[in-house]
Structure 1
Amino acid sequence: MAGVIAGNVVTMTQTSKRPEHSRRRYLERMARVVERIEAEPDAAADLETIAAWAGFSPFHFHRQFRALCGMPLQRFVQLSRLHRAAMQLAFRPGTRVIDAALDAGYEAPEAFARAFRARLGQTPSAFRSAPDWSAWEAVSASLQAARSKAMNDVMTTAVEIREFAAVRVAVMEHRGDPAGIGDSIRRFIDWRREFGFSPGKSRTFNVFPTDPRTAVEGGHRVWLCASVPSWFVGDDRVRVEEIPGGRCAVLAVTGPAMDLEEPATLLYRDWLPASGETLRDFPLFCERGRLYPQVSAAEALTELILPLA
C-alpha cells in the first residue's frame, strides 16, 4: 500500500495484491479452528490454545475470529458446547445431565446449568423433558451463520452426479411450523427405537416437499424417513413410501446441517442453471450419513440430493 496525501486527507492506493491462494490458506486455517472447537468440546478453550491451533498470535486472534465469524470466539465456543449438549438431551433418551455437562467441558454441573439456562432459557432437566424449540433454533441459527462464514469457501464439496438406487422408507411427516420439527424428531426417534430401525441398522433420510421460506402458514412439510425391509407395512404413526432411483446431483454438507436452505440455494441458484440438467418430478431430499450428535459436528455428514431427469 502506498499513501497519497490530498489536502488533509490521506488515502491508500493498492500497489500489490495478495494471490487468491493466500486468502484460501488463511480461510483454511480459520476453518481448522472451527472444526476443532466442534470436534473437541472438552478441549481447553483459552485464547492462547485456540489461536495456536491456527498458528495465529493470541494478541490478534480474537479480533480475527470476530471479524470473520461475526461473533466473539468465547461465545462461539460456549454456544457450540451448549448446542451439542441440548441435542444430546433432546434426542438421545437416557442422557444424564451430568454426562451432557462433562461432554460439553463443564466439570461443575452448576456452572453448566447456569450457562445452559442463560442461553436456552431452561434448565437442562426442563429442556430434556419439554424443549423450548424457539430458543434452540436461535442458538442453532447463530452457530450456523458463524460456521458458514468461516467454512463455506473451503468446505463446500463439488456437486457430483450419481445413480441413486431406489429405497423403501417408513415416513413420519412433520406438518406446520418448521420451528416445531424437534418434537416430531423426538417421536420419530422413539418409533425407530421401538421397531429396531435405529441408525446403524437403518438409513436415515429427509424429504422436503415444500420450501419453509415460502410455504403458506401451516403448509410446511418434511418427511422423516428410515429405510425399512419389504415385510414392513406401516402402522398408525408411519406410512411406507419409496424414494425412487435414478440420476441425482449430490452435494455433501459437513456439520450439523439442521438447516439445509443455504446449500439447497447453491444447488438451485448456482449449480442447476450452469449444468444444463433437467429436474425429475420428485422433491429435494437428503441422506444423513453420519448423524450429529452421535458424532461431533466436524464429523457429521449429510448428502443433499437433487433428482435429475
Structure 2
Amino acid sequence: MQQKTSTREDYSKRINIIIEYINNHLTDDIDLETLASIANFSPYHFHRIFKAFLGEPVGAFITRMRVETAARLLRYSDMPVQEIAYKVGYDVPSSLSKVFKQFYEITPIEYKNYKKYTIMKPLKISPDLELKERVVNLEPMQAIYICLFGDYKGNDYCLAWQKLWQYIRTSGKFSEEMKKAYGTVPKSDIIKQMLNECKIAHVGIYHNDPKLTEANKQQSDVCLTLPFKMEPQGEIGAKEIAGGKYAAFLYQGTYERLGEVYDTIFGKYIPDGGYQLDERPVFEMYLNDPECTKPDELQTEIYVPIV
C-alpha cells in the first residue's frame, strides 16, 4: 500500500509540473515529447497517465486552455484577433478561427463583434454590489500549492490548506528559514506575525471561467505564498505566482456570492474602468479566516491581470 501511495504522489508531482508548464507556455509551440521529458515520463506511457489523472488527453487539454483563454480575451479586451491568436499559441488567425468554431460554432471575429452572442452562461450583474477597486503592480510570489480539479463550488479547499499547513509545520526548510529571520521566537508566534504582515497569504488561482468550462474540468490551485522557495513533495507543488499589473477588487461578504462578484467585475467594473486583460490567470487572496469570521465579514480580494 505504501508503495502505491508513493507512486501516486510522485505521479501527482510530475503532472503538476506539466500543467504548470502548459499554463505558462500557451504562446509557445508545446511539444508533447518535451512535456514527457520535463516530467520524466516515457513518451509511450505519458498520454495514458495524463488522461488517467485529468480525464482528457494532453492535446485536448492544451487546445481547450488556448481556446478558453482566447474567448476571454475576445470578450473582455480590445486586442485584435491576430494578437490574441498569437498569445494563445497560433501563428495565424485562421488556425485559431478553425478550432474556435469547432468549440463554439462561431468564428473569433464574429464573437468579438457580436457582443450579444452567448457561448457562456449569462452574467448576473448586481447593481447594489460595491467593491473597493485599485490598480497594483505585484512582485512575483513564491508559493506551495495543491492542484484541484472539479466544480469550483464543490472542492474541499479546507482540506487542501490543512495539508499545506501540515507540510509547512513539519518542513525543515521552513524551520531553518524562520530561525534565520526570527531567531528563537516560538514558531506559532512567527506564523501569526507572518500572516499579519502578509508574508504568508492564502491564495486561490482559478484557471478556467466556470461559465465556459465544464464543472469536472475546472482547475484551481490552492496556494500558500511564502517569502522563500520550498521544494515540492508529492501532491504539493511549488510555483511562482506571476507578478505584474493587476486590477484588484476587494469584496466583503459570504463566499456564496463570489460568482455574482465575478460577473459584476467582468460585466461592469472591467468595461467601465477601460481595463485591458491579458492571459495570466485570475487569483483570489483571502484576508481573514472563515473558521472564526462571520460570513458577511469575510474579505476576499480578487486580482484580475491587466496590461
- What TM-score results when the alignment is normalised by the length of structure 1? 0.49
**Greater relative contact order: 1 or 2 (C-alpha under 8 angstroms, separation 6 or more)?**
2
Could you say which structure has the larger radius of gyration? 1
- What TM-score results when the alignment is normalised by the length of structure 2? 0.49
